Structure formats: structure tokens, C-alpha cells
């Protein structure tokens, strides 16, 4: 299953358009963040994993 979501991010007073693409496939649970994430995005790994466990994905 593939999903694509358009959202925004704030950088100071500027608004950036963000495209998020997600693919759910059978197998071991894992996720990858690609692009140029900053430290805050890299630290979200634990929050995403907790959300996956809470929703039994």
C-alpha cells in the first residue's frame, strides 16, 4: 500500500511545501527517513516506533 501526503513545514516565517510518501509492505517493521533531515527529524525515530506499536502496525 502506498500513500502520499502533502503538508507544510515552517522555517522561520517561511512556509515550505513537504511531500510525504509512505509504503506499507509485508515483512519486518522498519522505516527510513531520506532527504536532508535535521536533528529533530532524526530524533523522531522513537516517536514513530511508539506510534507503530500503539496502532499495532
pLDDT, residue 25, reads 74
Query: If we measure between CA atoms, which residue out of 24, 22, 26, 46 comes closest to residue 34?
Result: 22
57/54 Cα distance (integer angstroms): 8
45/48 Cα distance (integer angstroms): 5
pLDDT, residue 1, reads 63
pTM to 2 decimal places: 0.46
Q: What is the pLDDT of residues 10-49, one digit of tens each?
A: 989 999 998 888 777 777 767 777 776 677 676 777 777 7
pLDDT, residue 2, reads 77
Grid cell in block for residue 41? 527529524
Amino acid at each position: 500500500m502506498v500513500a502520499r501526503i502533502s503538508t507544510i513545514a515552517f522555517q522561520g516565517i517561511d512556509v515550505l511545501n513537504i511531500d510525504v510518501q509512505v509504503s506499507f509492505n509485508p515483512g519486518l517493521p522498519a522505516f527510513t527517513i531520506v532527504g536532508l533531515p535535521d536533528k529533530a527529524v532524526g530524533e523522531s525515530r522513537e516517536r514513530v516506533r511508539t506510534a507503530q506499536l500503539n496502532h499495532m502496525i
